[in-house]
Amino acid sequence: MLRLKNTLVRFGKDECGAALAEYAVTFLVIATVATVGLLALGTNLSAAFGAIAAWVATNITALF
């Protein structure tokens, strides 16, 4: 019984997993911010290319 108690106490004091958890949370935050940023950028780029395509369709095709 004493051996089990010592093992549980040692497990409670061990901080090896804490660093891994911190890295995982940091990674998830960075991945979330990057995903939201890329989605916003994609929407803006789509609108910009749509505007360019409309301009080309009205101005360039009128020359031919």
pLDDT one digit per residue (tens) for the chain, 64 residues = 788 888 777 877 766 667 788 899 999 999 999 999 999 999 899 999 999 999 988 888 766 6
What's this model's pTM, rounded to 2 decimal places? Answer: 0.52
Q: What is the DSSP letter of 31?
A: H
User: Look-up: residue for tokens 């995982």?
Assistant: 24
Rounded Cα distance between 28 and 45, Å, is 25
pLDDT at 53: 93
pLDDT at 11: 72
